[in-house]
């Protein structure tokens, strides 16, 4: 099947619900859905939103081509041919509000708000969750790694371990937003303008009679970009000494060795010894790169042992999410059209965190004008509930006894208009702008909220009006 149309990038129950709405004559009824996640990934204190650019491209291009329609006609449901004619005319004509890419986000707050005919809103659920869940997960992992690496250079090396091409491509983009400096993925570099970096593989060394010969020939080919992988045989007995010999040959031509790469063994010890050897050889400017199943935990421990590593190449545990295979974001109906007006809807569960927050909502980041730091995020109703500068009474929606009053603040709206009646009204910023936004947003938070382990819980609270509406609907369904 051709890949031109992503209309079938959905679950079958979406198509079946669309068909049922078509049969019942309710397909044009408006609905509002929120995209959010219930629990922060990696046991951390924050997440980094990503995936919006792909969502925008998807919605702009969304249509059913003839190949997709033929496939649907073959399904066991035996869809009415008139329904397939309706799909042939399908275009997204709804409205979308979203957090911007690179923004710091938290559990329970709407990252995207979709307002559209239920016929449209139902179809796009699967794709939106697919794009946002994956890219937000990887951006968050990258931000955690950046946090422990501090000012060291970070390289994304995950393409060969990613779950297929799209994951490698868009995952590389997500890591760049969250602070990585470059990628090994050439397609990501070409498509998104991300700097690309690479050295050579062990096979280059193995394909020569000696390690020294391999290094010298590589240096002859790329004299201005020589970083040598020194662990094919023995790092300290042959790898580093041969790299030093190569560096001296480069010096005769007026060139300098860029550095060496360690890909196995005790990275802390080897980097300390390699640094000593390089410095003694007059190569104090040569950088040491390390790779080998790294993540924020191993980098933290290696640095704590006094490692002399300048550059970290992070692959498998970054691009796959490591010990967190999915973000777990959801797409929930929060309002539906009835008699020409929107009425709030709620999903009730025995698990408090699974009870949805009804109504059309906005999010505001409440930033103290005194400290310049975020006091909490406030979820409000979209109309007549925005912060007006008067003191705000923040309270935890699950543990309501946790409260505080905030005054002298600035309320930053987080949801931006992206589509209005099917028309894109948001200009996708250059990737460097999203990267800068992420860096600037981090500065709003006290360090305790950004800790790698056991972070303080950042307040995400409901306005009084939003809370009262939620309690009212819960009570109505319990009666």
pLDDT at site 353: 81
Per-residue pLDDT tens digits for 304-322: 999 999 999 999 999 999 9
For 107-213, strand residue ranges (E) read 112-117, 153-156, 182-183
CA 146 – CA 180 distance, rounded (Å): 7
DSSP for 262-327 reads E-SS-HHHHHHHHHHHHHHTT-TT-EEEE-SS--HHHHHHHHHTT----EEEE-HHHHT-TT----
Q: Name the 3-class secondary structure at 160.
A: helix
Mean pLDDT of the chain: 96
Site of tokens 């007026």: 254
Assign 36 to helix, strand or coil.
strand
Percent of the chain with pLDDT over 90: 95
CA pair distance 346, 143, nearest whole angstrom: 33
Residue 1 confidence (pLDDT): 41
Contact in structure between 464 and 397 (CB atoms under 8 Å): no
Q: Which residue has the tokens 């955690």?
A: 144
Dist. CA 61–CA 91, nearest whole Å: 8
H or E stretch covering 147: helix 125-149
H or E stretch including 212?
Answer: helix 211-221
CATH code of domain 24-54+91-125+330-478: 3.20.140.10
Q: Which CATH superfamily includes the segment(s) 200-282?
A: Aldolase class I (3.20.20.70)
Per-residue pLDDT at 396: 80
- Tally the residues of the chain: 479
Cα–Cα distance for residue pair 29/396, rounded to 1 Å: 34
Among 52, 61, 167, which residue's Cα sits nearest to residue 114? 52
Q: Which helix (H) or strand (E) holds 30?
A: strand 30-37
- Dihedral angle at the C-alpha atoms of 368, 374, 378, 383, nearest 10 degrees? 60
| CA angle, residues 460, 463, 465, in degrees to nearest 5 | 150
Bridge partner list, 229: 261
Looking at residue 95, what is its pLDDT? 98
Could you write out the three-class secondary structure of 311-329?
A: EEEECHHHHCCCCCCCCCE
Domain boundaries, the chain: 24-54+91-125+330-478, 200-282
Phi, psi for 460 (deg, rounded to 5): -125, 105
State the pTM of this model: 0.96
160-176: pLDDT as tens digits? 999 999 999 999 999 99
pLDDT one-digit tens code per residue, 241-288? 999 999 999 999 999 999 999 999 999 999 999 999 999 999 999 999
Span 229-243, pLDDT tens digits: 999 999 999 999 999
pLDDT averaged over consecutive 10-residue blocks of the chain (479 residues)?
76 98 98 97 97 98 97 97 98 98 98 98 98 98 98 97 96 98 98 97 98 98 98 98 98 98 98 98 98 97 98 98 95 97 94 91 98 97 94 85 92 98 98 98 98 95 95 90
């Amino acid at each position: 099947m051709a890949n031109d149309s992503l209309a079938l990038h959905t679950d079958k129950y979406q198509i079946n619900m669309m068909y049922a709405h078509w049969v019942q004559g309710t397909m044009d009824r408006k609905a509002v859905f929120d995209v959010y996640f219930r629990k922060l990934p990696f046991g951390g204190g924050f997440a980094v939103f990503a995936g919006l650019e792909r969502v925008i491209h998807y919605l702009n291009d969304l249509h059913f081509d003839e190949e997709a329609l033929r496939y649907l006609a073959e399904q066991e449901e035996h869809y009415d041919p008139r329904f397939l004619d309706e799909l042939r005319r399908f275009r997204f004509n709804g409205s979308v509000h979203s957090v911007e890419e690179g923004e710091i986000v938290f559990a329970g707050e709407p990252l995207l708000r979709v307002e559209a005919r239920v016929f449209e809103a139902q179809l796009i659920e699967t794709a939106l969750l697919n794009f946002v869940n994956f890219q937000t997960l990887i951006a968050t992992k990258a931000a955690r790694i950046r946090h422990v690496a501090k000012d060291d250079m970070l390289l994304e090396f995950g393409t060969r371990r990613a779950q297929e091409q799209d994951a490698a491509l868009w995952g590389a983009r997500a890591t760049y937003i969250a602070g990585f400096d470059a990628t090994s993925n050439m397609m990501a570099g070409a498509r998104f303008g991300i700097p690309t970096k690479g050295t050579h593989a062990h096979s280059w060394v193995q394909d020569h009679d000696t390690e020294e010969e391999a290094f010298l020939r590589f240096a002859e080919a790329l004299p201005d970009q020589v970083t040598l992988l020194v662990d094919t045989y023995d790092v300290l007995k042959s790898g580093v000494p041969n790299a030093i010999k190569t560096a001296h040959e480069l010096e005769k031509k007026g060139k300098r060795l860029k550095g060496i790469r360690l890909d196995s063994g005790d990275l802390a010890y080897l980097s300390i010894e390699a640094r000593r050897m390089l410095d003694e050889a007059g190569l104090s400017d040569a950088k040491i790169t390390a790779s080998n199943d790294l993540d924020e935990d191993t980098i933290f421990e290696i640095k704590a042992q006094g490692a002399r590593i300048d550059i970290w190449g992070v692959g498998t545990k970054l691009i796959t999410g490591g010990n967190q295979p999915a973000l777990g974001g959801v797409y929930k109906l929060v309002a539906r059209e009835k008699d020409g007006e929107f009425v709030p809807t709620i999903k009730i569960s025995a698990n408090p965190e699974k009870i949805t927050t009804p109504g059309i909502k906005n999010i505001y980041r409440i930033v103290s004008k005194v400290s310049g730091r975020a006091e909490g995020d406030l979820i409000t109703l979209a109309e007549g509930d925005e912060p007006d500068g008067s003191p705000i009474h923040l309270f935890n929606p699950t543990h309501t006894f946790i409260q505080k009053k905030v005054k002298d603040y600035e309320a930053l709206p987080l949801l931006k208009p992206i589509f209005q009646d099917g028309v894109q009204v948001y200009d996708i910023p250059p990737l460097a702008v999203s990267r800068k936004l992420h860096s600037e947003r981090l500065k709003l938070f006290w360090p305790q909220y950004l800790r790698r382990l056991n972070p303080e819980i950042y307040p995400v609270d409901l306005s009084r009006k939003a809370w009262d509406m939620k309690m009212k609907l819960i009570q109505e369904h319990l009666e």
